[in-house]
Structure 1
Amino acid sequence: MSVRDTMIAKLTERFSPLHLEVIDESNKHRGHAGWREGGETHFRVRIATRDFDGLSRVAQHRAVFETLDAELKDRVHALNIEVLPAN
Structure 2
Amino acid sequence: MGAVKTRIESKLAAAFAPDQLEVEDQTNQHHGHAGWRESGETHFRVSIRSAQFAGRTRVERQRAIYAVLAEELAGPVHALAISARAPGETETSNSPGNVS
TM tier, shorter chain? Answer: over 0.9
Whole-angstrom distance in 2 between the partners of 1:54 and 1:14: 17
Matched, 1:84 2:85: yes
Name the structure 2 match of 1:72.
73
TM-score (structure 1 length as normaliser)? 0.96
Matches of residues 36-75 of structure 1 in structure 2 within 5 Å?
A: 36-75=37-76
Q: Among the aligned pairs, what percent are the same residue?
A: 46
Q: Which residue of 2 aligns with 1:25?
A: 26
User: Aligned pair count?
Assistant: 87
Match for residue 5 of structure 1? 6
Q: C-alpha displacement at 1:86, in angstroms?
A: 1.3
Q: Report if aligned partners of 2:54, 2:86 keep a CA contact under 8 Å in 1.
A: no
Aligned residues: CA RMSD = 1.0
The CA deviation string for residues 7-28 of structure 1, in whole angstroms up to 9 with x for no partner, is: 0000000000010000000000
After the TM superposition, which segments of 4 or more aligned residues of structure 1 sit over 2 Å from their partners?
none
* Larger RCO, structures 1/2 (Cα 8 Å, 6+ apart): 1
